Chains A and B, each alone.
Chain A
Amino acid sequence: MADVTKKKKAKKKDYSATVNSKLMRKPLKRVFPVFVLPMVCAFIIGFVYPFCQGVYLSFCKFTTTSNAKLVGFENYVKAFKDSGFMHAFWYTALYAVVSVVLINVLAFTAAYALTQNIKGTNFFRTILFMPNLIGGIVLGYIWSMIFDGILSHFGTSILLETKYGFWGLIILMCWQQVGYMMIIYIAGLQAIPGDILEAADIDGASKWQTLWKVTIPNVMPSITICMFLTLTNAFKLFDQNLALTAGRPFETTVNADGILETVKTTEMLALNIYNTFYGQSMSARGTGQAKAVIFFILVAVISVLQLRSSKSKEVQQ
């Protein structure tokens, strides 16, 4: 009895993580250089300074950081006029939609099946998660060999047709990510209190009803996280794209001004930005940086939007 009241009191106490007592706060503040400074210095070198300079350079014409000249919004205009960039944008968006749906459905199904107390669950989890630890470049080459092995029987190659490149990438990413998302879904499914499921069972709900009305609303936080992760992963995808097709096949078209333009048909946003920077012409670097800023805003907006919209759907617990 005494124990219970104690616990309640502890809970009621307005608990804060901040140190207020003088005994600790003063000596703690004195060690700022030891505790925080190394991280902050590295953070400035590795993030803050490059980020600010990146934003600045997106308004400049430059080949290296030392010869930058302000040109206003010219780079952004050029970026939006670049047909390769726009193609990469729509291609990435299409890829994102397909991969988010496919990966999440497969991962949830696998997680649901593997929480039904079947034999060998742990073994299956181990196997399904394994591809996740292999790096993107290696994965890309493993699968390009496999796809080419299959397609060579039909006298073609993954590098020759856009649709092969697209579905090849989808298969690759499913193979890599389903296990990861499954682990998150399993954690969510196991956190559902058993008495809720029991109550549904007693009330005569069928398995299908229980799944839709009880299980899924209760794993909404996991669904949020997984959707968010797969979507940002899809937009940030680089290594696999580079290793699997590197944008091939290329398509040459004549644009409105009568200039020949090469569009890399399986090139995604991240790879397009990379190619603009380190491709043949150094003069396009300003455009590349502008593309990078647009890309960053896109990813940031998606992250914020998705977190907000999914949070409102979560069940209050």
Chain B
Amino acid sequence: MADKKIKKSAKKAKTSLTVVFSIISVVYILPIIVVLINSFKENSYVKTETFKLPTAESFVQWANYIKGMTFGNYPFFKSVLYTTVITLLSSFLILLCCSMAAWFLARVNNTICKVIYYLCVFSMVVPFQMVMFTLAKTADTLKLNTPWTIPIIYLGFGAGLAVFMFTGFIKSIPLEIEEAAAIDGCGPIRTYFSVVLPMLKPTLISVGILEIMWIWNDYLLPYLVLDINEYMTIPIHIQYLQGSYGAVDLGAIMALIIFSIIPVIVFYLTCQKHIIKGVAAGAVKG
């Protein structure tokens, strides 16, 4: 009898938890819904009637979206394009160069390797503001201020975490597999690409996701390094529009925010499992 009662109350508690979390979920999505609603309103109504559905007079259909594309004398699709180029190139470069370096560092492990490794670990605790001014100047003198060259800066500044995570994983891979490859006549390059790299896949995904999330949303580094008159990324573009005081068209900005969130949400929903795993793995090692 008592057992049944406990079971019943436990079941009740579980259903009430589901209800509570359903409410929380709705509250969680609400800010994005509000942005979506406001992206269809005329500018002057965004501030006064933020939480009301668009009425006949405030509804502007797709006008904000059309306007947003060329708003601020800079085409928005260019920002999207540059952000994509920078994110993909940088992540690829970080994954390739850092995993190769990490393998070498873990396997050779002499004094030079140790120095490089500890420098990488050290770089993880250095905040960006520490190097921001000198890094921007260095990038400027070396002409690394275009979307096609900025990945080198990202590789340099982001190397710490990547090398740290890769080294940690490589140390747990049994050496015997590589030894077998060497005995079979593989050189180091071939051993790496056909034996080690496939084994690194889970870490490659984790690191890749962390880097993509970081670079896609990064504001300060590209803002200081890139030549802003020619190249903008999405965060720079949105900050630029809001920061230009006076005639800020909130409706159009809301439309742009929706534009910039959609790819992120699509990316999240398609590789959700990897993202959540990657975050957990990255945190545990970091």
Please give the residue numbers on chain A whose beta carbons come within 8 Å of chain B beta carbons, in ascending order. 16-19, 21, 23-25, 27-32, 34-36, 38-40, 42-51, 53-54, 57, 64-65, 113-114, 116-120, 123-138, 141-143, 145-146, 148-150, 152, 175, 180, 183-184, 186-187, 221, 225-226, 229, 232, 235-236, 238-239, 242-243, 270, 273-274, 277, 285, 288-289, 292-293, 295-296, 299-300, 303-304
Are A138 and B257 in contact, CB atoms less than 8 angstroms apart?
yes
Are A288 and B133 in contact, CB atoms less than 8 angstroms apart?
yes
Q: Can you list 20 A-B pairs with a CB-CB distance of less than 8 A?
A: A17-B170, A32-B104, A42-B152, A43-B119, A43-B155, A51-B126, A54-B133, A57-B133, A126-B272, A129-B276, A133-B275, A135-B235, A141-B253, A146-B50, A152-B47, A184-B280, A274-B132, A277-B132, A292-B129, A300-B125
B223 CB to closest chain A CB, in angstroms? 10
User: Given A48-B119, A137-B219, A187-B284, do A293 and B130 touch, yes or no (CB 8 Å)?
Assistant: yes
**Chain B binding surface, main DSSP class:** helix
- B48 part of interface (Cβ distance < 8 Å): yes
- B200 part of interface (Cβ distance < 8 Å): no
Are A131 and B131 in contact, CB atoms less than 8 angstroms apart?
no
Please give the residue numbers on chain B whose beta carbons come within 8 Å of chain A beta carbons, in ascending order. 14-15, 17-18, 20-22, 24-25, 28-29, 31-32, 34-35, 38, 46-48, 50-51, 97-98, 100-101, 103-109, 113, 116, 119-120, 123, 125-135, 137-139, 142, 144, 152-160, 163, 170-172, 175, 178-179, 182-183, 187-189, 192, 213, 216-220, 234-235, 238-239, 242, 250, 253-254, 257, 260-261, 264-265, 267-269, 272, 275-276, 279-280, 283-284, 286
User: Given A243-B242, A293-B130, do A146 and B188 touch, yes or no (CB 8 Å)?
Assistant: no
A283 CB to closest chain B CB, in angstroms? 14
Are B156 and A145 in contact, CB atoms less than 8 angstroms apart?
no
Contact of B284 among A65, A126, A225 (CB under 8 A): A225
Alpha-carbon distance A118/B22, docked complex (angstroms): 12
Alpha-carbon distance A194/B206, docked complex (angstroms): 27
Alpha-carbon distance A238/B219, docked complex (angstroms): 9
Alpha-carbon distance A49/B128, docked complex (angstroms): 14
User: Given A118-B18, A239-B220, A270-B129, do A142 and B257 touch, yes or no (CB 8 Å)?
Assistant: yes
**In the complex, what residues of A have CB within 8 A of residue B170's CB?**
17
Are A36 and B100 in contact, CB atoms less than 8 angstroms apart?
yes
> In the complex, what residue of chain A is closest to B156 when comparing beta carbons?
A46
Interface centre among A142, A221, A304 (most CB of B within 10 A): A142
Interface centre among A38, A42, A232, A295 (most CB of B within 10 A): A42
**In the complex, what residues of A have CB within 8 A of residue B234's CB?**
135, 138
Are A45 and B28 in contact, CB atoms less than 8 angstroms apart?
no
B230 CB to closest chain A CB, in angstroms? 19
Interface centre among A24, A124, A239, A277 (most CB of B within 10 A): A24
| Nearest 8 CB-CB pairings of A with B | A46-B156, A149-B50, A135-B217, A50-B134, A42-B156, A39-B101, A50-B131, A42-B155
Contact of B28 among A31, A127, A274 (CB under 8 A): A127
Are B126 and A149 in contact, CB atoms less than 8 angstroms apart?
no
> In the complex, what residue of chain B is closest to A28 when comparing beta carbons?
B188
Contact of B98 among A19, A39, A50 (CB under 8 A): A39
Are B131 and A45 in contact, CB atoms less than 8 angstroms apart?
no
Are B29 and A146 in contact, CB atoms less than 8 angstroms apart?
no
Contact of A113 among B17, B123, B134, B179 (CB under 8 A): B17
**In the complex, what residues of A have CB within 8 A of residue B157's CB?**
46-47
Are A24 and B126 in contact, CB atoms less than 8 angstroms apart?
no
**In the complex, what residues of B have CB within 8 A of residue A124's CB?**
21-22, 24-25
User: Given A64-B137, A119-B18, A128-B25, do A142 and B156 touch, yes or no (CB 8 Å)?
Assistant: no
Interface centre among B34, B160, B239, B267 (most CB of A within 10 A): B239
**In the complex, what residues of A have CB within 8 A of residue B250's CB?**
145
Are B217 and A149 in contact, CB atoms less than 8 angstroms apart?
no
Are A43 and B159 in contact, CB atoms less than 8 angstroms apart?
yes
Contact of A42 among B51, B134, B159, B178 (CB under 8 A): B159
